[in-house]
């Protein structure tokens, strides 16, 4: 299987366009499936403190014959750790659980606007990068106003913004802002998280049939064509391989345009980052 092409951050570091996510995968299972993903050829793993599987991810990284420097590892700061000192300690604790000296990417998991500490958390991530605990820093689930605010307050632009993004929810406004700032866009829930009929949509399945590919492969090829980093999750061995094999699928301009047209105003499947947690 070919390795994923990469996209370059404004800080000069590179991230594979296709990676592997482990939301809702318990620690022991994560050790197993991340091992499978690395063996298949994935070189990017996305976890978070919230997922409770950083230790399992770390075990898989150590057990793998793939050298550490060839794997891009991301984890995230949870919502109760936005105070500066708490954020520093949280990153150190994540590194301990992962058994790593340095992350490739550390993200603020959610802005939590009503908590009002995302600028403080962003200053902590800037300090963590300066101290060498992470190579790159970014955010996840920031409404546009809060994204603009952390940039204005610190003059430091996130390398990447990880957001819900799939053909039913294409995030055009945020993607335009990312393009202006030089921020890479990363898609969580790239396959729609199984919450909609995305993988049965006739536009997608028609394109899949034309290529002898699966619907999931078509969706992942669409992300890649737009230079959107996608991190599909699967604990199913055949799907782990199938999703990676989307790298061998290239869509035509007409096919991409047909998928672009599937965007829906009500296409969001997950939590709205602007809505209070309550």
Binding mask 114-153 for ligand NDP (x = CB under 6 A): --------------------------xx------------
List own/partner pairs for 191-196 with CB under 8 A and 24 or more apart. Answer: 191/166, 191/216, 191/219, 191/220, 191/232, 192/166, 192/167, 192/168, 192/219, 192/269, 193/269, 193/270, 195/269, 195/270, 196/168, 196/267, 196/269
Whole-number Å distance between alpha carbons of 206 and 142: 34
Q: Applying CB under 6 A, which of residues 18, 61, 125, 191 lies at the interface with ligand NDP?
A: 191
Residue 40 found at the interface with ligand NDP (CB under 6 A): no
Give 135 or 192: the residue with its C-beta nearer to ligand NDP.
192
Binding mask 69-108 for ligand NDP (x = CB under 6 A): ----------------------------------------
Whole-number Å distance between alpha carbons of 120 and 133: 18
3-state per-residue secondary structure call for 256-276: HHHHHCCCCCCCCCCCCCCCC
Q: Applying CB under 6 A, which of residues 16, 21, 41, 58 lies at the interface with ligand NDP?
A: 21
51 is catalytic: yes
Q: Applying CB under 6 A, which of residues 128, 189, 259, 267 lies at the interface with ligand NDP?
A: 189
Give 140 or 201: the residue with its C-beta nearer to ligand NDP.
140
Whole-number Å distance between alpha carbons of 53 and 28: 8
Binding mask 215-234 for ligand NDP (x = CB under 6 A): -x--------------xxxx
């Amino acid at each position: 299987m070919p390795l994923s092409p990469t996209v370059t951050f404004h800080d000069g570091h590179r991230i594979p366009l296709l990676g592997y996510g482990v939301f809702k995968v318990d620690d022991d299972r994560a050790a197993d499936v991340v091992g499978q993903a690395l063996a298949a050829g994935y070189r990017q793993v996305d976890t978070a403190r919230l997922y409770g599987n950083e230790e399992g991810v770390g075990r898989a990284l150590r057990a793998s014959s793939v050298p550490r420097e060839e794997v891009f590892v991301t984890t995230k700061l949870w919502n109760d750790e936005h105070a500066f000192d708490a954020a520093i300690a949280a990153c150190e604790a994540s590194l301990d659980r992962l058994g790593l000296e340095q992350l490739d990417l550390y993200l603020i998991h959610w802005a939590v606007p009503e908590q009002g500490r995302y600028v403080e958390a962003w200053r902590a991530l800037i300090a963590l990068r300066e101290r060498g605990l992470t190579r790159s820093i970014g955010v996840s689930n920031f409404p546009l106003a809060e994204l603009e605010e952390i940039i204005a307050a610190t003059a430091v632009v996130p390398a990447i913004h990880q957001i819900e993004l799939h053909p039913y929810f294409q995030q055009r406004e945020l993607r335009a802002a990312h393009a202006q700032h030089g921020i890479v866009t990363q898609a969580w829930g790239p396959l729609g998280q199984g919450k909609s009929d995305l993988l049965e949509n006739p536009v997608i399945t028609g394109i899949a049939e034309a290529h002898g590919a699966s619907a999931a492969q078509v969706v992942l090829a669409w992300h890649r064509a737009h230079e959107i980093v996608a991190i599909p999750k699967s604990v199913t061995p055949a799907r782990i391989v199938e999703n990676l094999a989307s790298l061998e699928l290239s869509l035509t301009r007409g096919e991409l345009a047909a998928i672009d047209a599937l965007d829906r105003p009500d296409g969001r499947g997950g939590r709205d980052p602007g809505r209070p947690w309550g």
